Amino acid sequence: MPIARPAAPVVIDAVELRVLHLPLVSPFTTSFGTETVREVIILRVRTPDGDGWGEIVTQHAPRYSSEYTQGAWDVTQRFLVPALWDAASIAGGSLAPEGVAGALRPFVGHRMAKAGLELAVLDAALRAERRALGEYLGAGTDRVASGVSVGIQRDPAALVDTVGDYLDQGYVRIKIKIKPGRDVADTAAVRDAYGAIPLQVDANSAYTLSDADTLAELDRFDLLLIEQPLQEDDIVDHATLAARLRTPVCLDESIVSAKAAADALALRAASIINIKAGRVGGYLEAVRIHDLCRAAGVPVWCGGMLETGIGRAANAALAALPGFTLPGDVSASDRFYARDIVTAPMVLEDGYVRVPTGPGIGVEIDPVALDDATVARVELRP
Ligand code: OSB
Ligand code: MG
């Protein structure tokens, strides 16, 4: 459902941006590359009533999508934050979180940057009202089923070991990354080792329609879904592929807005949708995609971008909406980080993570951990 009760406007005194480098507990390999350090932007919106926090989930290089950290760093300072100053000044000095997307709309793309800024304003506004983000977005539960995204390993045997560790920890769904040459054998190895576990694969756009025969071989593994087999703008080819596969096709990279989601469903390019607030320009747009999928009877699940405790808390709130009927990539903080930047990193409890109930995103920042991870910092004022 649309946001039931909007948040009160806030006065923004300043916006602080930081680039963080957070070491990963193990390298994370996808079809588009390997990461060993998470480079991410953290935003702090300063208001007379306190701070709000947001996260821009870009990665170092534009490989998952066209956005990347230095691009987001530039566009946020050069265009997005000044547009917020203008919007607030036109509105008499304050800005409601629901007005952020409209203020930023003149700028094309850069959805992750916009999403991070909107989250920081939303967090500030909700903290001031002592309302939880989950309640604001329409969460229907206090905990969400936790799946884990497993990167491509050295070989199928190593993958089986890694997956076994996550199953031992209690993750209720396994997603393995695939790419050409590392697909059927990897999936078979996990199925053979662990039987009928909830299992899905993510190709991160690594295939073309000419690979349809290989992808059809995955049908025999009874996967929950195959995520984003083809390129971001291959909507028609995804529809053609979906008609050939028994495995449900789920879109990630292609779904950049509620409009893109509606179009993909109309064309039958996907029967399941991965929702990431960063990819779609914010948590409010994410709720709109949830709402339209729910109305259409299309299952959705919450994707992840190796978030810090800030984005992870917000993702848990989003994943608690009633249409999120499949487990999300909302894993415990220690799946990626030895040291998070929040005081109470997200933990796995019987295969679930808790939806924070404190004001705003519901987590507190660890200022020392934040400073230790910071490699660049700037503060902007009107
Ligand atoms: O495709 O879902 C993806 C991480 C970075 C970029 C893209 C993706 C991912 C993941 C990790 O799969 C999900 C997570 O944060 O747990
Ligand atoms: Mg994906």
Residues with CB under 5 A from ligand 2 (ion): 202, 227, 252
Active-site residue set: 177, 276
- Residue 132 C-alpha to ligand 2 middle, in angstroms? 28
Q: Does residue 347 share a domain with residue 247?
A: yes
Residue 305 lies in a domain: yes
Q: Does residue 43 share a domain with residue 163?
A: no
Q: Does residue 115 share a domain with residue 174?
A: no
Instruction: Compute, in degrees rounded to 10, the torsion defined by CA atoms 70, 72, 76, 77.
Output: 0
Question: What CATH number is associated with residue 313?
Answer: 3.20.20.120
Phi, psi of 333 (to 5 degrees): -55, -40
State the pLDDT at residue 3.
82
Question: What CATH number is associated with residue 101?
Answer: 3.30.390.10
Q: Does residue 245 share a domain with residue 165?
A: yes
Local confidence pLDDT in tens for the 382 residues of the chain: 778 899 999 999 999 999 999 999 999 999 999 999 999 999 999 999 999 999 999 999 999 999 999 999 999 999 999 999 999 999 999 999 999 999 999 999 999 999 999 999 999 999 999 999 999 999 999 999 999 999 999 999 999 999 999 999 999 999 999 999 999 999 999 999 999 999 999 999 999 999 999 999 999 999 999 999 999 999 999 999 999 999 999 999 999 999 999 999 999 999 999 999 999 999 999 999 999 999 999 999 999 999 999 999 999 999 999 999 999 999 999 999 999 999 999 999 999 999 999 999 999 999 999 999 999 999 999 9
Q: Does residue 203 share a domain with residue 163?
A: yes
Protein residue with its CA nearest to atom 8 in ligand 1: 305
Q: Does residue 91 share a domain with residue 163?
A: no
Q: CA 364, CA 61: separation in Å to the nearest integer? A: 29
Residue 5 lies in a domain: no
Q: Does residue 18 share a domain with residue 106?
A: yes
Residue 8 lies in a domain: no
State the pLDDT at residue 325.
98
Protein residue with its CA nearest to atom 12 in ligand 1: 149
Ligand positioned closest to the Cα atom of 149: 1
Ligand 1, pocket-test mutation among 24, 176, 305, most atoms within 8 A of CB: 305
Amino acid (1-letter code) at residue 32: F
Q: Using alpha carbons, select from 245, 281, 251 the residue that is nearest to residue 267.
A: 251
Neighbours of 377 (CB within 10 A): 14
- Residue 305 C-alpha to ligand 1 middle, in angstroms? 5
Q: Does residue 171 share a domain with residue 147?
A: yes
Which pairs from 163-170 meet CB under 8 Å and 24+ separation? 163/190, 163/193, 163/194, 164/193, 164/194, 166/335, 167/194, 167/197, 169/332, 169/348, 170/146, 170/348, 170/350, 170/351
Q: Does residue 115 share a domain with residue 195?
A: no
- Residue 330 C-alpha to ligand 1 middle, in angstroms? 10
Q: Is the dihedral of CA 85, 134, 332, 29 positive or negative?
A: negative
Q: Which residues line ligand 1 (CB under 6 A)?
A: 64, 149, 202, 204, 252, 303-306, 329, 331
Domain that holds residue 28: 14-130+365-380
Residue 317 lies in a domain: yes
Q: Count structural domains, the chain.
A: 2
The atom of ligand 1 lying closest to the CA of 329 is 16
Q: Which two tokens stand for residue 143?
A: 């905990």
Residue 28 lies in a domain: yes
Q: Does residue 345 share a domain with residue 202?
A: yes
Residue 303 lies in a domain: yes
- Residue 96 C-alpha to ligand 1 middle, in angstroms? 30
- Residue 203 C-alpha to ligand 2 middle, in angstroms? 7
Q: Does residue 300 share a domain with residue 182?
A: yes
Q: Does residue 91 share a domain with residue 167?
A: no
The atom of ligand 1 lying closest to the CA of 330 is 16
The atom of ligand 1 lying closest to the CA of 204 is 1
Q: CA 112, CA 72: separation in Å to the nearest integer? A: 8
Q: pTM of the entire structure?
A: 0.98
